[in-house]
Amino acid sequence: MPRTASGRSSLVEPLPHHISCDAIHVSFRADPAAIAAFLPPGLEPLETGDGWAMIAEMAKVSASAPDQAWENPARSTYNEGVVGFYCKFGDKVGRYSALVWVDRDWSMGMGPIFGWSKRLAQVDRSRLHAHNPGMVKAGPGAAAGGTVSRYGETVLRLSVQVPDDAQPMTALPGHAASTFLYRYIASPSPDVPDIEQLFELGLANTSMSTVWPGMGTVSFGTAEDEELSVLGDVTVTGGYLYQRGWTTSASARLLHDYGQDGR
Amino acid sequence: MPRTASGRSSLVEPLPHHISCDAIHVSFRADPAAIAAFLPPGLEPLETGDGWAMIAEMAKVSASAPDQAWENPARSTYNEGVVGFYCKFGDKVGRYSALVWVDRDWSMGMGPIFGWSKRLAQVDRSRLHAHNPGMVKAGPGAAAGGTVSRYGETVLRLSVQVPDDAQPMTALPGHAASTFLYRYIASPSPDVPDIEQLFELGLANTSMSTVWPGMGTVSFGTAEDEELSVLGDVTVTGGYLYQRGWTTSASARLLHDYGQDGR
Amino acid sequence: MPRTASGRSSLVEPLPHHISCDAIHVSFRADPAAIAAFLPPGLEPLETGDGWAMIAEMAKVSASAPDQAWENPARSTYNEGVVGFYCKFGDKVGRYSALVWVDRDWSMGMGPIFGWSKRLAQVDRSRLHAHNPGMVKAGPGAAAGGTVSRYGETVLRLSVQVPDDAQPMTALPGHAASTFLYRYIASPSPDVPDIEQLFELGLANTSMSTVWPGMGTVSFGTAEDEELSVLGDVTVTGGYLYQRGWTTSASARLLHDYGQDGR
Amino acid sequence: MPRTASGRSSLVEPLPHHISCDAIHVSFRADPAAIAAFLPPGLEPLETGDGWAMIAEMAKVSASAPDQAWENPARSTYNEGVVGFYCKFGDKVGRYSALVWVDRDWSMGMGPIFGWSKRLAQVDRSRLHAHNPGMVKAGPGAAAGGTVSRYGETVLRLSVQVPDDAQPMTALPGHAASTFLYRYIASPSPDVPDIEQLFELGLANTSMSTVWPGMGTVSFGTAEDEELSVLGDVTVTGGYLYQRGWTTSASARLLHDYGQDGR
């Protein structure tokens, strides 16, 4: 929205969008009972309680306006933090991004379309510049961190330290799963129902840089409208630095419409 | 969203919300043909081309969490700019807020629910403090302005100057009309339709302070995704300073579902 | 700065500036030994350990550009938080603002000139709108709060609740004292000394609204570069809501130049 | 500042700082008479009217707190825009950064120390991610842009497009010169003079990545307190993409004290 006749005032450009990230990623295990509170109805946590947190500097290229990437960088760069969990819908295993923080309104505007629970925050991660006299670039010996801050609380804090003898990887462990989307939009009227739908989304054109593994840390803050701290102390299973790219299209498949099919 | 089991992580608190504004308001007339491009299908501009622009400092008290107003002022104050037009749906005359800018994500989150085309911006208006040695408070001799800035453009600029001999009013001229809401949310999937609905919304508990009339100015900027400047030079019909309050509930009435009833 | 030939690019407009605040103010007593760590060399806390915290919405009118107040509201409004202490320089008692947070760069730019330790933060306070259905305006029964948030920490939190039977006052208790300014600017060069000076500043054109007294609360957060929490639990001595105005000029008197007169 | 006993509340960590940039850089020539208005007293533009503009994503590692780079990324990353000119002080040729925009208060706090005219702005540049399906990484075929926006104006806009047959370089043309610093801080008191000093600063530990040359564009906006547009249309002499690192210390040499040596 808004949907004016010319389409020019639209907050979100038409899909598809080509997305990329320069990410700090920490995988962890938490109590499945605590995870369950974050999942949509019908999705169950894995017994292992696997989840992940990621903070990244991102880039977006709209296929409909490719020159925007250099003409208007404030509309083609953003920072993002995510906390998500692996889960099951019946037999189907997938990844569910339970909470997402971004720092641009045009990225937050994708939320109601795709069912990403996006809110605005200050999202920052270390920049590992090879030419900084005080830094080691991404690779053996590197240390990077990320924070998500919102309304006077640090709600997510990550770090990854790559040992001097780290061996590069070509993929993240456990990464091959599609994505569940849970789209809930309240109704303004007694005349129409709330929108509540579950989708499955695949990503196209995915590519991954070298993945550098290391020691990860993750901590969650608490705030009036952030409940991540109920996860308690989680067990870190890995820390990674990588860059990744993909294309997002309006190609989600409807798995369940709660309004029509029942909850 | 998100809709976690506890409800705690919800970006938007449950309705109703008690809202108030300290507003600079400029009414104008523009070419109905230019206005038409901003209206949803089925709504027509008035022949007079009446519209308005407003910039205000706002307060929100959630009925479900009244202490938030003093415990967490960053979640109960926001600034807002609006450009809207009077229009008709068949015989029904109402007000349609075509573009809305706010500076808090929790206010932007109301957009997909109610059909307000909200985006984030820097919204500022003069503060007319009675004790500032260089100012005249709201009333005869006062001058106030407002700006909406976004991504390096000033998209809306207002001013109102109240003459020394201004006579206070008890209401804004032409204000008695309900509100049209046009709710458009794109679908992420070929399996479900876009959401496209037209509603009518009334507000409860409305009250108005003294209204100070004056000379108004309004100008629109242009940007990659802002098209207000196509309105061209408009004719100002009034300028006003006032405070107003009301309650917003999930009480909108569905007028038309474009998906089901046809466009 | 910068000091270009035309003066146009200056971040800070020429003085004097007419300033006003709509303030939440909590006075407290803390351990004088803890306070001493915040004071410049040569200033001593009062035995009573009196201090105060304030969060306000502010307005600034530059005498050199009075129309800026309505032409460019983003340059004439700002929010400010202050924690300060009463102290003595020899026999002279005065007020010293130890830490100041603002949300505009042009206000932060006043810091090196006047010796105010200004940094940027998100500063918010409740807006007590008389017409909000869920609020009581400033006066008996009102409740207001303020927060200063910076880099993911809430460093200062205040509240004032005015009892239903509150009696209005005409002045803040203990308010009659001039202001100490401690100006410290590090040198970039072994060839020039650091700047370190103590001044006394009076304000002109001061005026005060009705002062509403109430129950106050204050709490301090902690962060990498914020040490307020070392004050520990303080004893609140009063809470107040008021508006105030004054004029700031380049009229400070030098009390002590540490470089020339010795520390 | 502030200079509390523990030093903990200092906005700016002790020097030295290790700095790095990922930069878009456009060199240009302008009318020396227009440039002269931006230079401090005693500095003259080159007859060629050479100047430059740069927008970069930056990293800072404080030698006194190296872990801050990953523990607190919001205090070790910032974006910066600069417009500067080559000039002469007597026979000495150097570079003078006339205007600097940053997006962190701790970076702005370096301004009064070093004489950099820093103000806050939204500073953005394209992120050339190798794995984004819609982008070409820095090198042949790449296109990158940068913007500096402030108070509703885009004050600086740059772009660099690298041709498919571009040949990498090892250094920027004309880069070997030290830096002039002009430090002007107004006095708050008739008892002390304004601070007005000219320094020369060298940087240590400098290193440069491959430099990719391309076609550059630069444009300046105008605002109430930004006068860059008086430069008019400049002639672009080059466009470059590079990464660079260096160490900043308190090692500036005093060239002229305007207060003591006369203007």
Tokens of C17: 């500036």
Amino acid (1-letter code) at residue D192: V
CB atoms within 10 A of CB A22: 24
pLDDT (0 to 100) of residue B111 = 87
Decide if C250 contacts D188 (C-beta within 8 A). Answer: yes
Q: In angstroms, rounded to a whole number, what is the distance separating the alpha carbons of residues A250 and A180?
A: 14
Contact A154 C153 (CB under 8 A): yes
Chain A, residues 190-209, CB within 8 A of chain C, namely: none
Closest CA to B70 of C53, B62, B22, C77: B62
Considering only the beta carbons, identify the residue of A72, A108, A225 that sits closest to B224.
A72
Strand A253-257 relative to strand A77-89: parallel, antiparallel, unpaired? unpaired
Average pLDDT over residues A182-196: 92
At residue D181, the pLDDT reads 94
Question: Which residues in chain B have Cβ-Cβ distances shorter than 8 Å to A187?
Answer: 113, 250
- Distance (Å) from the alpha carbon of D111 to chain C's nearest alpha carbon: 9
Q: From first to last of the 263 residues of chain D, give the pLDDT tens digit.
A: 455 555 555 788 888 999 999 999 999 999 999 999 999 999 999 999 999 999 999 999 999 999 999 999 999 999 999 999 999 999 999 999 999 999 999 999 888 888 888 899 999 999 999 999 999 999 999 999 999 999 999 999 999 999 999 999 999 987 567 899 999 998 999 999 999 999 999 888 899 999 999 999 999 997 666 678 888 889 999 999 999 999 998 889 999 999 887 66
The three-state secondary structure class of D210 is: coil
Q: What is the DSSP letter of D64?
A: T
At C110 the pLDDT is: 87
> Residue B198: pLDDT band by 50, 70, 90 thresholds?
very high
pLDDT score, position C224? 60
Q: Which two tokens stand for residue C261?
A: 């007169």
Which regions of C112-221 does DSSP assign to beta strands (E)? 118-120, 122-125, 143-150, 153-161, 178-185, 195-201, 204-208, 212-220
List the structure tokens of D247.
Answer: 């160490």
C 98-137 residues with CB below 8 A of D?
98-99, 105-106, 108-109, 111-115, 117, 119-120
pLDDT band at B175 (very low <50, low <70, confident <90, very high): low
CA distance A100 to A123: 11
Average pLDDT on A167-172 reads 95
Query: Cβ separation of C135 and B205 shorter than 8 Å?
Result: no
pLDDT score, position D263: 62
Is A6 a residue whose pLDDT tops 70? Answer: no
Mean pLDDT along residues C21-43? 95
Burial class (CB in 10 A: 0-12, 13-18, 19+), D42: middle
Q: Is the dihedral of CA D164, D167, D168, D172 positive or negative?
A: negative
- What is the Cα–Cα distance from A248 to A209, expressed in whole angstroms? 19
Q: Hey, what are D150's tokens? A: 């402030």
Examine the pLDDT at A7 and tell me if it is beyond 60.
no
Q: Which two tokens stand for residue C7?
A: 């003066």
Tell if the CB–CB gap between D153 and B154 is shorter than 8 Å: yes
In which band, very low, low, confident or very high, does the pLDDT at C263 lie, cut at 50, 70 and 90?
Answer: low
- Provide, as residue numbers in chain C, all residues whose Cβ is less than 8 Å from the Cβ of A152: 122, 147, 149-150, 152-155, 221
Interface TM-score (ipTM) > 0.95: no
Distance, CA of D152 to CA of B154 (rounded, Å): 4
- pTM value is 0.94
pLDDT of residue A81: 97
Instruction: Please give the pLDDT value at position C3.
Output: 58
pLDDT at D176: 65
What angle (nearest 5°) sits at the alpha carbon of residue C251, between those of residues C250 and C256? 110
CB contact under 8 A, A153 and C151: no
3-state secondary structure A50-98: EEEEEEEEEEEEECCCCCHHHHCHHHCEEEEEEEEEEEEECCEEEEEEE
For residue D150, the distance in angstroms to the closest alpha carbon of chain B comes to 6
Q: Using omega within 30 degrees of 0 as the cis cutoff, is the peptide bond preceding C73 cis?
A: no
Q: Compute the average pLDDT of residues A153-174.
A: 95
pLDDT at B15: 87
Tell me: pLDDT of C41 over 80.
Answer: yes
What is the tens place of the pLDDT at every residue in A13-42? Answer: 888 999 999 999 999 999 999 999 999 999
What pLDDT, on the 0 to 100 scale, is given for residue A8? 54
Q: pLDDT > 70: what percent of chain D?
A: 94
**pLDDT at position B1 over 60:** no
CA A210 to chain centre: 20
Contact C149 A151 (CB under 8 A): yes
Q: Are strands B17-29 and B195-201 parallel, antiparallel or unpaired?
A: unpaired
Which pLDDT belongs to residue A175?
A: 58
Residue A194 confidence (pLDDT) above 70: yes
CA distance A74 to A53: 25
Contacts of C108 in chain D (CB under 8 A): 105, 108, 120
pLDDT in tens, A124-161: 999 999 999 999 999 999 999 999 999 999 999 999 99
Are residues B189 and A250, on separate chains, in Cβ contact within 8 Å?
A: yes
Catalogue all structural domains in chain C, each as residue range(s) with its CATH number. 17-261 (2.40.400.10)
Q: Give the number of other Cβ atoms within 10 Å of residue D174's Cβ.
A: 14
CA D91 to chain B, closest CA, distance in angstroms equals 40
Q: What is the mean pLDDT of residues B184-203?
A: 92
Contact at CB, A3 and B251, closer than 8 angstroms: no
* Confidence at residue D9, expressed as pLDDT on a 0 to 100 scale: 59
Q: How far is A208 from chain D (nearest CA, A)?
A: 7
Closest partner residue to B227 (CB to CB) among A9, A99, A252 is A9
- Give the mutation candidate from C18, C60, C127 for the B interface (greatest B CB count, under 10 A): C127
Question: What are the backbone dihedrals phi and psi of residue B141, each rounded to the nearest 5 degrees, phi first?
Answer: 90, -5
Pair D237, C21: CB distance under 8 Å: no
